Amino acid sequence: MAQGNHTDLLRQFGLARNPFVDRTAEKTSLDPVSLYVHSDLHGFTPSETTYIFFGRRGSGKTTIRLSMQKAYAQHNESVRASGVSRGHFIVDLSRPGHLTACLRTFQESTGCTDDNWDASFADNWTSADMVDCMMSYAMTQLVAKVTDSKSATAQDMLPAPVLASLLSSLYSAPDSAETVRGLTVGVSAHQKLERLSALLRTLGYEGLAVFGDCFDEVVLLDPVQYPGAIKVFAREVCRNDLLNFGRMHFFFPDSRLALDLNTDKTLKEARFDRHFVRDLTWSRHQLEELAERRFLAAQLEAQRRAAAGAGHAEARKDGGAGLANADVSSVAGGKTYTFADLFQAVRVEDFSSYLSKLSTPRELMIMMTEMMGRMEAHPEGGLTAQDMEISVTKALEQAV
């Protein structure tokens, strides 16, 4: 089949779909073939390590988070099946609605308004308040499990009256609210986390694991409306008192420098040297490998679909034996194309020079989508330097 003379690139290259249209991790299949995994994250398994990632929107933070959460889910499923424990209790602060609700409550309690939010947040917010948000999430989830009559968790937990009597025996009537708060919850971020973790272990969990992502989508942390709030938030999260607890996984929507986390005072308080900290930056070589992986994964997916279809058709003829004998390599010749095959239609000497203008996977996906559209529109002429410049410009404009 001659290259570069079809308006249907999917058919020409045996693709199940355009592999570059997925712009967000939530809408992307976590197919290992399609992912570029940094070497120090290969084989990730739940551990006591705290992970902190910094990077612009579209730099791959959420993809890493979803992969980590998948590893936790697999671990939890395994230990629950063996009866060892309930696994790790996951506090997932990645959905903006939960943090927005917490911050609105904090805003009301401090008596500030949207107009003075930046200044008030900087004066009042601490890492202990961040832990309060975690505890709010955890308590909400635990209450839901306890009150769900069909939940196995509820059936195994202590009855509510027993728990209440155990708690009430800890205090005398004259105890003030602040005394009770200090005794039951703790006052520092680490104390509160220790109390919550102890409660979870009592309920049969291995411990606590926290994930935080998409902070710039939280209304009161919007970096455009409240440029100071996201910096204060990041600073209070990045304190060793909180990070040293372990099993913390935070993903921040900008670089450490942009979030003012490179000052001597912050570095001393954060002790980044004790934790796994990564600034997500991409070279053109890494972006090119990611594009190659996406391109290959889409071809393999098409072959698997074709093999399954051929197997089912054969099974109808011979009672099912054909399904087991269907071979992917026998479908569409089993041929896979390389990324270089796709770019035989690019009339530019140095394709990598255009990739070097990009810095995130999302920019790559936008550029590649634009390029494939132009290839299909001009199957004979190929892409010119002007086409490439337009594709790069659109990627840089849209990936914000």
Q: What is the DSSP string of 317-355?
A: HHTTHHHHH--GGGGGGG----HHHHGGGB--S-THHHH
Return the residue matching tokens 């499923």: 77
Instruction: Give the single-character DSSP code of 223.
Output: T
3-state secondary structure of 92: strand
CB atoms under 10 Å from CB of 46, counted, come to 18
In the numeric block, the tokens 């570069």 are attached to 4
CA distance 385 to 349: 9
C-beta separation of 55 from 279 below 8 A: yes
Q: Tell me the C-alpha distance between 197 and 207, whole Å.
A: 5
CA-CA-CA-CA torsion sign (309, 311, 314, 320): negative
241: nearest Cα among 191, 176, 281, 180: 191
Number of other CB atoms surrounding residue 48 within 10 Å: 11
239 within 8 A of 122, measured Cβ to Cβ: no
Name 320's bridge partners. Answer: none
Between the alpha carbon of residue 62 and those of residues 53, 67, 206, 213, the distances in Å are 10, 8, 25, 7
**Cα-based distances in Å from 125 to 36, 230, 232, 271:** 37, 11, 8, 20
Lookup: tokens for 172: 């005398």
The tokens describing 1, both together, are 């089949």
* Each residue's pLDDT expressed in tens, for the chain with a length of 400 residues: 344 455 677 888 888 788 888 877 766 666 778 888 888 888 899 999 999 999 999 999 999 999 999 999 999 999 999 988 899 999 999 987 889 999 999 999 999 999 999 999 999 999 999 999 998 898 888 887 777 666 655 556 556 565 555 445 545 555 555 555 555 555 788 888 998 898 888 888 999 999 999 999 999 999 999 999 999 999 999 999 899 999 999 999 999 999 999 899 989 999 999 999 999 999 999 999 998 998 888 888 888 888 887 665 554 555 544 333 333 333 344 678 887 777 775 666 667 788 889 999 999 999 999 988 888 887 776 778 888 899 999 999 887 6
The candidate with the shortest Cα–Cα distance to 250, out of 226, 234, 272, 267, is 234
pTM greater than 0.85 (yes/no): no
The upper half-sphere exposure of residue 148, i.e. CA atoms within 13 Å in the direction of its Cβ, equals 10
Is residue 161 helix, strand or coil? helix
